[in-house]
Amino acid sequence: MPNTFTQKETSLLQDLKKSEQLCVDKYTKYENNAVSTELKSLMGAIKQQEQEHLQTVNQLLGGQVPQVGGGQSGSSKIEAKSAFYNNGTPEYENDKFVCSDALATEKYVSSVYDVSIFEFKDPAVRNVLNHLQKEEQTHGEKIYSFMDQNGMYS
């Protein structure tokens, strides 16, 4: 039986859909604009997960509550120090900007999920949103780790 949402819940899902579409668009640009291969790979992997998030939100909007689980758990630290960088070069500054913008995006999207989780009455939907938020937080952790390992986070 399809789930029926309140007007507020539907509005929150629409906001999440816009946020996830923006993430897909941004990570596509991040992947294309990153200079180091390590960062290109990281941005591409996150883009794929953002596409999955968008599909999940679309399923919710369609009244379906998808099963979530597995995926990302435990530590998400990455060993991605790039031998490519020399601090202060245009390549370094470009990738530092890409990472900084990506991290700010993850902070914002995680906060949208945080508000939404508290506004849904259905525990199964809250579980789905909580799962997606945890994945957004893991994206942020991976970006932070990359930045930290490459001297970009100050």
Write out pLDDT tens, residues 26-82: 999 999 999 999 999 999 999 999 999 999 999 999 999 999 876 544 445 555 566
Q: Is the pLDDT of residue 149 over 60?
A: yes
Residue 133: both structure tokens together: 């938020």
The amino acid occupying position 96 is K
The structure tokens 């630290």 sit at 77
CATH of domain 7-64+81-149: 1.20.1260.10
Task: Note the pLDDT of residue 75.
Answer: 47
Q: Indicate the domain borders of the chain.
A: 7-64+81-149
Residue 29: both structure tokens together: 């640009």
Q: What count of Cα atoms within 13 Å lies in the side-chain half-sphere of residue 154?
A: 5
Task: Note the pLDDT of residue 153.
Answer: 80
